[in-house]
Homo-oligomer: A and B are copies of this chain.
């Protein structure tokens, strides 16, 4: 049997969220959280709209997932996010003890890997999933901003 629920399948949903952010003039980062192949949270960056530096896609996804699950630990959850999390989001993921994080494009400047932020030892990380699509959206956003 073919498994349609691949990392790419869910990353496409995160990319749709990133596109929604783009259309609102937000830095285009999107996220979804998945448990047993079911999407339990979807979100995109809203820092401009909410005037709030904490309103990253991942932060909203963590809060929404915990609300859905009725508990603050994201056991058996996978976060798909189009761009590598920052220090703040990686720090929140650390506390959530999330099972798996899948991200697309690397953030060479402010990504958690470069910044040395620690995820929880339990958390499995997969990177580079649909990285070109995520990266292209970011580049297009900043190119349009500079116009």
Task: Name A residues whose Cβ lies closer than 8 Å to a Cβ of B.
Answer: 47, 51-54, 59, 62-63, 66-67, 70-73, 86-92, 94-96, 115-118
Contact B87 A90 (CB under 8 A): yes
Determine the chain B residues whose CB is within 8 A of the CB of A91 once the complex forms.
86-91, 117
Q: Beyond A116-B116, A117-B117, A118-B115, is A54–B87 a contact (Cβ under 8 Å)?
A: no
| Residue among A91, A95, A96 with the highest chain B CB neighbour number at 10 A | A91
Let me know if B88 and A92 touch, CB within 8 A. yes
Residues of B within 8 A of A115 (CB): 117-118
Contact B87 A66 (CB under 8 A): no
Q: Would B47 and A53 count as touching, CB distance under 8 A?
A: no
Q: A-B pairs with the 6 shortest C-beta distances?
A: A88-B91, A87-B91, A53-B95, A88-B92, A116-B116, A51-B72
11 more CB-based (< 8 A) A-B contacts, given A88-B88, A88-B91: A52-B66, A52-B72, A53-B72, A53-B96, A54-B54, A87-B91, A88-B89, A88-B94, A89-B91, A90-B91, A116-B117
A92 B51 Cβ-Cβ under 8 A: no
Q: In the complex, what residues of B have CB within 8 A of residue A59's CB?
A: 54
